[in-house]
Structure 1
Amino acid sequence: MQKFIRLTGVAAPLALANIDTDMIIPATYMKALTREGLGKHLFQALRYAEDGCERAEFILNRPPCRDATILIGERNFGCGSSREHAVWALADFGIRCIIAPSFGDIFANNARKNGLLLIRLPAETCARLRGEAARTQFAPMTVDLAERQISLSSGEKIGFSVDPHDRRVLMEGLDDIARTLRYAGAIAAFEAALS
Structure 2
Amino acid sequence: MKAFIRETSTVAVVPIVNCDTDQIIPGRFLKADRAQGYGQFLFHDIRRDADGTLDPAFALNRPDAAAATILLVGDNFGCGSSREGAVYALVDHGIRALIAPGFGDIFYNNALKNGLVPVRLPAPVCDALAAHLAAHPQDPVTVDLEAGQVTLPGDLGAHPITIEPFARDCILRGLDEIELTLTHLDQIEAFEAARIAANPWLGR
Shorter-chain TM-score: which interval? Answer: over 0.9
Displacement of 1:55 in angstroms is 0.6
8 Å CA contact retained: 1:12, 1:138? no
Q: Equivalent residue for 1:92? A: 92
Q: What is residue 128 of structure 1 aligned with on the other side? A: 128
Report how many residues are paired: 195
**1:74 match:** 74
SS state at 2:130 partner: helix
8 Å CA contact retained: 2:148, 2:161: yes
Q: 1:140 to 1:38 in 2, by over 3 A?
A: same
Instruction: Kindly state the Cα deviation for residue 190 of structure 1 after the two structures are TM-superposed.
Output: 1.8
Deviates more, 1:149-158 or 1:110-119: 149-158
Contact 2:76 2:104 in 1 (8 A): yes
Amino acid paired to 2:161: F
Report if aligned partners of 2:111, 2:118 keep a CA contact under 8 Å in 1.
yes
Partner of 1:47: 47
Q: Aligned pair in 2 of structure 1 residues 85, 66: CA closer, same or farther (>3 Å)? A: same
Q: Deviations over 1:22-68 (max 9, x none)?
A: 00000111112225332122111211123221111111111312322
Identity %: 47
2:59 alignment partner in structure 1: 59
Uncovered stretches (5+) of structure 2, i.e. residues with no partner = 197-204
The answer to whether the aligner puts 1:83 opposite 2:83 as a matched pair is yes
Give the deviation of 1:189 after TM superposition: 1.9
2:162 counterpart of 1:161: yes
Question: What is the alpha-carbon root mean square deviation over aligned residues?
Answer: 1.5
Flag the structure with larger Rg: 2
CA–CA distance in structure 1, aligned partners of residues 36 and 110 of structure 2: 17
Post-superposition CA distance 1:74-121 (Å, at most 9, x none): 211111111111111111111110011111121112111111001111
Deviation at 1:153, TM superposition (A): 3.5
> Which residue identity does 1:70 align to in structure 2?
I
Q: Is the 8 A contact 1:7 1:142 kept in 2?
A: yes
Flag as ranges the 4+ runs of structure 1 deviating above 3 A.
Answer: none
What is the distance in 1 between the residues matched to 2:63 and 2:89? Answer: 19
Q: Give the letter for the 1:94 counterpart.
A: G
**Preserved CA contact (<8 Å) 1:25 1:85:** yes
Q: Secondary structure at the match of 1:108?
A: helix
